[in-house]
Amino acid sequence: MEQYVVKGGIPLVGEVEIGGAKNAALAILAAAVMTDETVVIENLPDVRDINVLLNALSGIGAVVERIDAHCVKINGSTINNLRVDYEYIKKIRASYYLLGALLGKYKRAEVALPGGCDIGSRPIDLHLKGFRALGSNVDILHGLIAAHADTLRGNHIYMDKVSVGATINIMMAAALAEGKTIIENAAKEPHVVDVANFLNSMGANVRGAGTDVIRVEGVEKLHKTTYSIIPDQIEAGTFMFAAAATKGDVTVKNVIPKHLEATTAKLLEIGCEVEEFDDAVRVVASKPLHHTSVTTLPYPGFPTDMQPQMAVVLAISEGTSTVTESIFENRFRYVDELSRMGASIKVESNIAIITGVQGYTGARVSAPDLRAGAALVIAALAAEGITIVDDIYYIERGYEGFEQKLESLGAQIEKVLSEKEIQKFTFKVS
């Protein structure tokens, strides 16, 4: 099993290029098979989750041609199987986007029911409610969600809870339904907007994405397009918090600063300097950092996917901070690992109470999930001594060339496979 070994205590300095947004890409790849014409997707992040979804698309018969690491050509005219197996869903929940995409195009789809996951129970009732409202039958049989409709008809759908996945799934199915769909209390995340823009570039008629109300006027069919995915706000934010934790000076490039406003606001609040450019943001942490409170919320609130990275910084900032997780129930599993590095954090229900300590000390820790894994690497970069992070396959699900990008900012980090390699690294950096 691959691990990261890190010698901490070096401020990160320099510039780093941010890749395409994984979460936008997952939905866009699924939507790409909604036309029989060829679609070209650019600025694709080369990460494990994307490769799993591309395999799922090939698995149902689509032609997937990788032009290079960041560009793919997809043709959905050869799809010959409307069932997406558990094999894919268990690796990446977002395969459920194929439900909305296939239901819209073929009026029929069967996708394995996703289970819970490392950050808590993840219901999909709102997705199913939306499909039913569009006139589809939805049954759960033998571990599969089976949806089929004679005709999909637009409807007025109120989302009881703001859900990124349900908003996107319903939007995709509605794009090829008859008549008008109105999604109220829709998610406003940048990737919801990106998927809407992508669908529109294929000839769909989606308006209002990025607001609470999305209006979709169904069209008969979609056509070819070439589309470039937006920058990944979570990857960008991760490097911004890494700059803060290591008292560094990092410019994240190829970003949309507006998407990073919640992260930027919190960094300013704790004492960082943040400079915004047209498509870059610079974070400088030259003064001691101090406590704050943060609550995760749907966009434009503070993203739950940045919560562990923020907590890692607060745990070495002066004073007592609170981090309230309001989206997922089990997103503090990294706290025990962080405590092993010297953090002082008490979790009560969905609130982490963090008492700032002077600094971390290197230890052996395990990544409990994707974002918490990245957060532990940030802690390792700030720690005194050597840290070994196990289970880094979680991190590789969503970060492309993580260690290379960190190395380019001056970090001492290596991906290793054995104790011998760890010893070699330790010898080299001591």
Does 71 participate in catalysis according to the annotation? no
Q: Is the four-CA dihedral 296, 302, 303, 306 of positive or negative sign?
A: negative
- Main-chain phi, psi angles of 316, to 5 degrees: -115, 25
Per-residue contact flags (x/-) with ligand UD1 for residues 319 to 338, judged by CB under 6 A: --------xx----------
Of 29 and 341, nearer to ligand UD1 (C-beta) is 29
Question: Are residues 113 and 99 in contact, defined by beta-carbon separation less than 8 angstroms?
Answer: no
Of 350 and 361, nearer to ligand UD1 (C-beta) is 350
Member of 87, 125, 184, 279 binding ligand UD1 (CB under 6 A): 125
Question: Are residues 281 and 257 in contact, defined by beta-carbon separation less than 8 angstroms?
Answer: yes
117, 182, 256, 351: the active-site residue:
117
Question: Are residues 380 and 342 in contact, defined by beta-carbon separation less than 8 angstroms?
Answer: no
Stretch that binds ligand UD1, among 70-78, 281-289, 298-306, 374-382 (CB under 6 A): 298-306
Stretch that binds ligand UD1, among 120-128, 193-201, 361-369, 407-415 (CB under 6 A): 120-128
Q: Min. distance of Cβ 208 from ligand UD1 in angstroms?
A: 18
Subset of residues 47 to 106 that bind ligand UD1, contact rule: CB under 6 A: 94
Of 23 and 251, nearer to ligand UD1 (C-beta) is 23
Q: Is the four-CA dihedral 122, 127, 132, 136 of positive or negative sign?
A: negative
288 binds ligand UD1 (CB under 6 A): no
44 binds ligand UD1 (CB under 6 A): no
310 binds ligand UD1 (CB under 6 A): no
Stretch that binds ligand UD1, among 117-125, 239-247, 338-346, 358-366 (CB under 6 A): 117-125
CB count in 10 Å sphere of residue 120: 14
305 binds ligand UD1 (CB under 6 A): yes
Question: Are residues 216 and 130 in contact, defined by beta-carbon separation less than 8 angstroms?
Answer: no
Stretch that binds ligand UD1, among 136-144, 203-211, 275-283, 297-305 (CB under 6 A): 297-305
DSSP secondary structure string, 333-361?
TTHHHHHHTT-EEEEETTEEEEE--S--B
d(CA 430, CA 268): 35
23 binds ligand UD1 (CB under 6 A): yes
The structure tokens listed for 400 are: 């492309």
What is the tally of helices (H) and strands (E) in the chain? 15, 24
204 binds ligand UD1 (CB under 6 A): no
Q: Min. distance of Cβ 141 from ligand UD1 in angstroms?
A: 19
263 binds ligand UD1 (CB under 6 A): no
Stretch that binds ligand UD1, among 134-142, 272-280, 300-308, 418-426 (CB under 6 A): 300-308
Runs of H (alpha helix) within 282-418: 307-314, 335-340, 370-382, 393-396, 402-408
126 binds ligand UD1 (CB under 6 A): yes
Subset of residues 157 to 176 that bind ligand UD1, contact rule: CB under 6 A: 161, 163-166
Member of 105, 127, 397, 405 binding ligand UD1 (CB under 6 A): 127
Q: Min. distance of Cβ 271 from ligand UD1 in angstroms?
A: 27
Q: Min. distance of Cβ 189 from ligand UD1 in angstroms?
A: 6
Question: Are residues 391 and 369 in contact, defined by beta-carbon separation less than 8 angstroms?
Answer: no
* Sheet of 351-355, strands arranged across: 293-295, 320-324, 351-355, 344-348
229 binds ligand UD1 (CB under 6 A): no
Q: What burial class does residue 15 get, using C-beta atoms within 10 Å of its C-beta: 0-12 exposed, 13-18 middle, 19+ buried? A: middle
Of 196 and 388, nearer to ligand UD1 (C-beta) is 196
DSSP secondary structure string, 7-58?
E-----EEEEE--B-HHHHHHHHHHGGGSSSEEEEES----HHHHHHHHHHH
369 binds ligand UD1 (CB under 6 A): no
Q: What burial class does residue 277 get, using C-beta atoms within 10 Å of its C-beta: 0-12 exposed, 13-18 middle, 19+ buried? A: exposed
Of 101 and 280, nearer to ligand UD1 (C-beta) is 101
Where does residue 245 fall: left (phi above 0), alpha (psi -120 to 50 degrees), or beta otherwise? alpha
Just list the catalytic residues: 117
Q: For binding to ligand UD1 (CB under 6 A), which residues are involved?
A: 23, 26, 94, 122-127, 161, 163-166, 187, 303-305, 327-328
